[in-house]
Amino acid sequence: MFRINDNFTKLPASYLFSEVARRVKAYTDANPGVEVIRMGIGDVTRPLCPAVIEALHKAVDHEAAGESFQGYGPEQGYAFLRDKISLYDYKERGIDIEPDEIFVSDGAKSDTGNIGDILSTSNRVAVTDPVYPVYVDTNVMGGRAGELGEDGRWSRIEYLPCTSENSFVPSLPLSKPDVVYLCYPNNPTGTTLTRDQLKVWVDYCRDNGVLLLFDAAYEAFIREEDVPHSIYEIEGAKDVAIEFRSYSKTAGFTGIRLGYTVVPKGLKGLDEDGSPVELNGLWRRRQTTKFNGASYLTQRGAEALYSEEGRRQVKETIDYYLENARMLRVGLAEAGYEVVGGINSPYIWLKTPATMTSWEFFDYLLERYHIVGTPGSGFGPSGEGYFRLTAFNTHENTRCCVERLSLK
Amino acid sequence: MFRINDNFTKLPASYLFSEVARRVKAYTDANPGVEVIRMGIGDVTRPLCPAVIEALHKAVDHEAAGESFQGYGPEQGYAFLRDKISLYDYKERGIDIEPDEIFVSDGAKSDTGNIGDILSTSNRVAVTDPVYPVYVDTNVMGGRAGELGEDGRWSRIEYLPCTSENSFVPSLPLSKPDVVYLCYPNNPTGTTLTRDQLKVWVDYCRDNGVLLLFDAAYEAFIREEDVPHSIYEIEGAKDVAIEFRSYSKTAGFTGIRLGYTVVPKGLKGLDEDGSPVELNGLWRRRQTTKFNGASYLTQRGAEALYSEEGRRQVKETIDYYLENARMLRVGLAEAGYEVVGGINSPYIWLKTPATMTSWEFFDYLLERYHIVGTPGSGFGPSGEGYFRLTAFNTHENTRCCVERLSLK
């Protein structure tokens, strides 16, 4: 009889957001009329900007007439979009990324998940801790994680703690991994690394033949000068790094789906004979074989983001969220919480008071202040004792959240 | 240094459609002014129907206002769509498929490619020959194919020839495979299997613990009573089969991307201990971890296909293509060609005359008649000596194609 991939059965149930939803429902059922403020799930709330809406309507009309109808597009994305990405996201920042190094997809979650297809299952992986769970779970599925220990750590994955003890700056790995995932601005902590701090990582990867998988999904929230928008701002990064980008948080595309991945030419891994092989060609083959391109509509929508109007409108929306982040950061600090994030990021990461666990603090916030956040322990062992709030809400609700949390 | 997935380096370059394009360009460059009729690539040409266009515009407007804005949707697809699929594509045909057995995605190519994620790499695979190349290539990537022989066959894949010698009806496998891919109506041959013929396969899979991966992407072209629209019309199929569906050819969604996959509850494979594990939960985990849902816009577009208007409009478009298929089938048969397909399918599969190879016939058609098709050898060893024409063109061009091919 046919066999399943046993790695899937090793994965414990993913219960973070369903458990959050269950507890919120139990509370609101028991307390009708109480107004709960949701600062938990990292989804945007502001509508798509007018430039995108206009482009989407136009693209729909293209699909309505034979002469403008668009069927199968290039699996790696339309040139009209990849050219603009190359120009505006890279060349204008002095980074030489060509259109044929860019692969447009339905989102960064797909790409960070699927990138393992082109890598050997023998590679050892390192992740920061806390971490976006997709990096870990997809390596479990791919057979790279080993066994799950009682401490919540997988035996073949190195966890690089990011806590207040090291100011949320991960140390270099000790275990000689082959692949490292970094996400900056970071989900869930909202922290960033400076140019010099990222250079340490690029140099380390170059010196040790390590592939750096760099998730820059929150790049649009960066406002400080010394925080790189792309890993390729660091010299030598094109030899070691794949970069993942997303329009989800940048432009509110969580519902209409679009992202892209940069696989620079010249970035090489070893085959079984020890010969170097370019990853760009491998990813191209993966995408042309297992993917049929992102929606034409969404690609036209993304193209509009690079117009003068589009760029201004995106900035306005991000500024709106960043003002929420500022309110949370400043207000909670004033209220006595230990807080990081929220400067170049929509995420606020706070230390739970006294000896409360993340889930105890979740219940406490919900019952006492009627506020929903996300327990840090859901993001990995080093997230225990922390809590995530997001800036994806209205000014009014955010202000109200700060006021409630300031009540003693 | 980090290692790549060596299976990728085993794949020969995929050159079928690029070689077609190269030869066409060389010919048209050398013969300016000659009007070439393209009957090669299997992409639709008719615009989206008015019901879909209206739904897409409405969905775009939802994304323009805060109160109707849709962010992350359920990874398995919105209930508004899955409920309609369950009702109209299954229950109305007397098949009990529930919404939680349906997983909406960005297309059948992604799903037929990614399904290997949940299956052991030790499984042995059988495919019909000729075949949609994605089934073979993704199993090469997944390490199930063995080595490529000089005859163009992979050592661990069983090829089930479908040629005029067996009237294009595949024999049951001889090698005891664990997984079988069937695509009916078939790409590339355009042939179908009757209810009784499919029952042989379902019974075989049940008796031998074989997983049946059934690709029904061309289901909408079925017009004959005795040809099942779904594998689940066959008794017992829910215990052995996963079904892939696509809106690409059904409704012209090749550019806006949507499909779905049915993984029935109760369909089980063995884990390493020999215990049965439900595939529905594994695929759910795969999709929630490596995929973030299909575009809200496209899902609203697909919903409109199930309205009375939408169903009528889709039928009109398919009828248009089927009339082309009929013209090709009848006209080419009258002109003396040996032809199959084109009754419940947009594809016509013809035997190349005399001892011409597929590529020789390609050159002959291009040079003598200025018609572009697809060489059958591009779909597998048993495709040699055959040629594919598609019905995805205008009536006028199709008529002209038949007239040219009828010239002696």
A281-290 per-position pLDDT tens digit: 999 999 999 9
- In B, minimum Cα distance to A56 occurs at B60
Residues 265-324, chain B: which have Cβ within 8 Å of A? 269-272, 277, 279, 282, 285-286, 288-298
Q: Which of A43, A60, A138 to mutate to test the interface with B (most CBs of B within 10 A)?
A: A60
Residue A145 sits at the chain B interface (C-beta within 8 Å): no
For chain A, the average pLDDT equals 97
Put simply, the answer to whether A14 touches B210 (Cβ < 8 Å) is no
* Position A253 pLDDT exceeds 90: yes
How many residues are present in chain A? 408
Tell which residue, B152, B200, B196, has the closest CA to residue B180. B200
The encoded tokens of residue A31 equal 């307390």
Nearest CB among B66, B286, B297 relative to A256 is that of B297
Q: What does the pLDDT look like over A306-354, one tens digit per residue?
A: 999 999 999 999 999 999 999 999 999 999 999 999 999 999 999 999 8
Nearest CB among B1, B211, B285 relative to A11 is that of B285
Angle, nearest 10°, between helix axes B50-62 and B308-334?
A: 140
Contact B48, A63 (CB under 8 A): yes
Put simply, the answer to whether A119 touches B4 (Cβ < 8 Å) is yes
- In B, minimum Cα distance to A13 occurs at B285
The encoded tokens of residue A320 equal 């709106």
Tell which residue, B332, B334, B370, has the closest CA to residue B352. B332
pLDDT-derived band at A16, boundaries 50, 70, 90: confident
Contact B293, B73 (CB under 8 A): yes
Q: What does the pLDDT look like over B220-278, one tens digit per residue?
A: 999 999 999 999 999 999 999 999 999 999 999 999 999 999 999 999 999 999 999 99
Put simply, the answer to whether B4 touches A44 (Cβ < 8 Å) is no
* Position A267 pLDDT exceeds 90: yes
Please state whether the predicted TM-score (pTM) of the whole model is above 0.90: yes
Q: How far is B372 from chain A (nearest CA, A)?
A: 18
Please state the φ and ψ torsions of residue B386, each to the nearest 5 degrees.
-125, 175
Q: Which SS3 state, helix, strand or coil, does residue A262 take?
A: strand
Q: Give the per-residue pLDDT at B354.
A: 87
Nearest CB among B1, B9, B63 relative to A48 is that of B63
Q: How far is B240 from chain A (nearest CA, A)?
A: 10
Q: Give the per-residue pLDDT at B86.
A: 98
Please state the φ and ψ torsions of residue B215, each to the nearest 5 degrees.
-95, 110
d(CA B375, CA B267): 37
Put simply, the answer to whether B4 touches A289 (Cβ < 8 Å) is no
d(CA A24, CA B329): 62
Q: What share of chain B is helix, strand, coil (3-state, %, to 5)?
A: 45, 15, 40
The encoded tokens of residue B4 equal 């790549």
Nearest CB among B9, B61, B138 relative to A290 is that of B138
Residues of chain B contacting residue A279, judged by C-beta atoms under 8 Å apart: 4
Q: Give the per-residue pLDDT at A398.
A: 97
Residues of chain B contacting residue A66, judged by C-beta atoms under 8 Å apart: 45-47
* Position A408 pLDDT exceeds 80: no
Residue A210 sits at the chain B interface (C-beta within 8 Å): yes
Residue B1 sits at the chain A interface (C-beta within 8 Å): yes
Q: How far is B73 from chain A (nearest CA, A)?
A: 6
Q: Give the per-residue pLDDT at B14.
A: 79
- In B, minimum Cα distance to A142 occurs at B117
Q: Residue range A163-192: average pLDDT?
A: 98
d(CA A109, CA A111): 5
Residue B14 sits at the chain A interface (C-beta within 8 Å): yes
Residues of chain A contacting residue B210, judged by C-beta atoms under 8 Å apart: 2
Residue B69 sits at the chain A interface (C-beta within 8 Å): yes
Q: What residues contact residue A53 under an 8 Å CB cut-off, 6+ apart?
A: A47, B60, B61, B63, B64
**Above pLDDT 70, what percent of chain A?**
100
Put simply, the answer to whether A60 touches B61 (Cβ < 8 Å) is no
Nearest CB among A63, A211, A270 relative to B53 is that of A63
Element (H, E) at B347: strand B347-351
Q: Give the per-residue pLDDT at B17.
A: 84
Residues of chain B contacting residue A211, judged by C-beta atoms under 8 Å apart: 2
Residues 27-66, chain A: which have Cβ within 8 Å of B? 41, 43-48, 50, 53, 56-57, 60-61, 63-66
Put simply, the answer to whether A113 touches B289 (Cβ < 8 Å) is yes
Q: How far is B123 from chain A (nearest CA, A)?
A: 6
**Above pLDDT 90, what percent of chain A?**
97
Put simply, the answer to whether B71 touches A2 (Cβ < 8 Å) is no
Put simply, the answer to whether A297 touches B256 (Cβ < 8 Å) is yes
Residue A395 sits at the chain B interface (C-beta within 8 Å): no
Q: Residue range A73-100: average pLDDT?
A: 97
Q: What does the pLDDT look like over A21-60, one tens digit per residue?
A: 999 999 999 999 999 999 987 899 999 999 999 999 999 9
Contact A233, A195 (CB under 8 A): yes
Tell which residue, A37, A110, A102, A12, has the closest CA to residue A405. A37
Q: What does the pLDDT look like over A57-77, one tens digit per residue?
A: 999 999 999 999 999 999 999
Q: Give the per-residue pLDDT at B231.
A: 98
Q: Give the per-residue pLDDT at A13.
A: 86
Q: Which SS3 state, helix, strand or coil, does residue A154 take?
A: strand
Put simply, the answer to whether B289 touches A209 (Cβ < 8 Å) is no
Element (H, E) at B387: strand B386-390
Residues 157-186, chain B: which have Cβ within 8 Å of A? 178-179
Residues of chain B contacting residue A297, judged by C-beta atoms under 8 Å apart: 56, 256, 295, 297-298
Give residue B388's Cα distance to chain centre. Answer: 14
Put simply, the answer to whether A294 touches B69 (Cβ < 8 Å) is no
- Whether the ipTM is more than 0.90: the answer is yes
Residues of chain B contacting residue A119, judged by C-beta atoms under 8 Å apart: 2-5
Q: Which of B4, B41, B110, B291 to mutate to test the interface with A (most CBs of A within 10 A)?
A: B4
Helices (H), B123-211: 133-141, 195-208
pLDDT-derived band at A18, boundaries 50, 70, 90: confident
Residue numbers in chain B where pLDDT is lower than 50: none
Q: Give the per-residue pLDDT at A36.
A: 94
Q: Give the per-residue pLDDT at B207.
A: 98
> β-strands A268-270, A259-262: how paired?
unpaired
Q: What residues contact residue B317 under an 8 Å CB cut-off, 6+ apart?
A: B46, B49, B251, B252
Q: How far is A54 from chain B (nearest CA, A)?
A: 9
Put simply, the answer to whether B2 touches A210 (Cβ < 8 Å) is yes
Q: What does the pLDDT look like over A286-304, one tens digit per residue?
A: 999 999 999 999 999 999 9
Residues 328-387, chain B: which have Cβ within 8 Å of A? none
